[in-house]
Amino acid sequence: MRILIITQYFHPEPGAPANRLLSFARGFAAKGHQVTVLCEFPNYPTGRLAKGDRFRFWRKEKLENFEIVRSFVIPTRRSSVALRLVNYWSFTLSSFLVGLFLKRPDLILVSSPPLFAGPAAVWLSSLKRAPIVSDIRDLWPEDAIMMGQLKSRIAIQGGRATAKQLYRKSSFIITISEGLKEKLETMAQGKEVHVVVNGSSVPDLWSGMECRRRFQGAPITVCYAGTLGLGQPIEDIVEVASATRDDKSIKYLIVGDGVKRQSLMALAAGKGLDNISFAGGVSFETSIELLDGSDIAIVSLIGREIFQSAIPSKFFDCMALGLPVILGVDGEARVILEESNTGLYYRSGDWRDLLDKIVFLKGNPEIARKLGENGRKLVWSRYRRSDLAAQLESLIQNRFSKRI
């Protein structure tokens, strides 16, 4: 089967969307399918293109056993809605034009958000008579509206119309959690929705990795790795670092980039903190190395109803490494955490509760190690990304193989 994956973000760009779609591309190719990924020239999250990519409209390259076709994008830091739309729509138009010259696929898999890969997929699907499977990880524009990021009535109506068109055109939809599945079944009435969770690539890429013994001497490292965006309450960690500035047995590491990185660094600098460091945006491999060198992982989202259906991908990566997780997400992720006994829950936005959980794990290293071991066993047995890609490939084969 010839499969075209359309996603704005892709390897080597960091983040959950790129890593998820990379695992799908690898999984499909491993099953013998001809896979092409149509994506932007790498620029996320810095908003800067490599010098050789600045004036190119498209480029074809090979990665492992599948093909990548990159198309033009206007890079921005996406610090405003207008700049985001410029970035998104430039990819929509260029990916559609480049896609016209690609061989007709048997199937198009499109990833959202950003939702604006959707129109390119819909247009190409109509012209090339190829069915669409949509991978919906968040509800856009609904999430942006609830976060206060999108207020323009015209933009809201346009976003909802774009989402509705994609849902209507999709043969079926996949998403990352049961909560999102229920919402999508309501919004995309009559469409079949399946859950393919994020999982972790750690068991596939580092199959011989030993579980490092943690809490060996001082200081211990408390690490957050992920997006530093409006949905992540990283201020909690800065406040905890401030409260423990005189405790030399704990240090804090923030790995990642996003719209709040500079303000968070300014907040830490304004408090004169020398026990917290910011690694910035790094590759997936480097983020795993930094997490593996830590003792406690924090995974958190702000306390909004829209995030109760979220299961952050780094949640699985942290558990796969054998790290005890302090989770600030109340919903499905918390259910996994508590049913499998892989960490502790804290109330997002309550830095004192977060501090209590850090102090408890630091003072009870054997309990912390046991929580980490439970998480590692859980992910390695149930949440390998290669297995999840095979799950999606099976869904696709059952639906489309006879037709093709």
CATH number at residue 229: 3.40.50.2000
- Where in the sequence is the domain holding 178, given as residue range(s)? 2-199+384-400
* The pLDDT value given to residue 402: 60
Write the CB contacts of 257 (distance below 8 Å, at least 6 apart in sequence).
14, 45, 46, 227, 228, 280, 281
**Torsions phi, psi of 252, nearest 5?**
-125, 140
**Residue 142 sits in the same domain as residue 165:** yes
* CA distance linking residue 293 with residue 215, whole number of Å: 11
Same domain? For 71 and 211 the reply is no
Regarding whether 214 and 82 lie in a shared domain, the answer is no
Q: Closest Cα to residue 37, out of 13, 14, 73, 3?
A: 3
Quick one: 396 and 338 in the same domain?
no
Could you say which DSSP state residue 213 is in?
P
Whole-angstrom Cα distance, residue 367 to residue 372? Answer: 9
- Tens of each residue's pLDDT in the chain, 404 residues: 999 999 999 999 988 889 999 999 999 999 999 999 999 999 987 888 998 898 899 999 999 999 999 999 999 876 677 888 899 999 999 999 999 999 999 999 999 999 999 999 999 999 999 999 999 998 888 888 887 778 888 888 988 999 999 999 999 999 999 999 999 999 998 899 999 999 999 999 887 777 778 888 789 999 999 989 888 999 999 999 999 999 999 999 999 988 899 999 999 999 999 999 999 989 899 999 999 999 999 999 998 887 888 899 899 999 999 999 999 999 999 999 999 999 999 999 999 999 999 999 999 999 999 999 999 999 999 999 999 999 999 999 999 876 54
> Residue 84: its pLDDT value, please?
84
Hey, CA dihedral for 143, 125, 161, 58, is it positive or negative?
Answer: positive
Q: What is the pLDDT of residue 140?
A: 87
Q: Which residue in this structure is represented by tokens 């190690």?
A: 369
224, 367: one domain? yes
At how many degrees (to 10) do helices 313-320 and 332-340 cross? 20
Q: Which 3-state string (H, E, C) describes 125-185?
A: HHHHCCCEEEEECCCCCHHHHHCCCCCCHHHHHHHHHHHHHHHHHEEEEEECCHHHHHHHH
Say if residue 370 is in the same domain as residue 351.
yes
CA–CA distance, 169 with 181 (Å, rounded to integer): 17
- Is there a single domain that holds both residue 85 and residue 172? yes
pLDDT at 229 (0 to 100)? 86
- One domain for residues 361 and 258: yes
Backbone angles phi, psi at 198, to 5 degrees: -70, -50
d(CA 371, CA 264): 29
Radius of gyration of the chain (CA): 21
Q: In terms of domains, do 92 and 40 share one?
A: yes
Contacts of 123 (CB under 8 A, 6+ apart): 96
Please name every residue paired with 151 in a beta bridge, in sequence order, or none if there are none: none
| Confidence (pLDDT) at 176 | 94
pLDDT at 403: 56
Q: Structure tokens of 228?
A: 């530093």
State whether 213 and 124 are in the same domain. Answer: no
Contact 23, 386 (CB under 8 A): yes
Domain total for the chain? 2
| Same domain as 180, residue 276 | no
Same domain for 155 and 274?
no
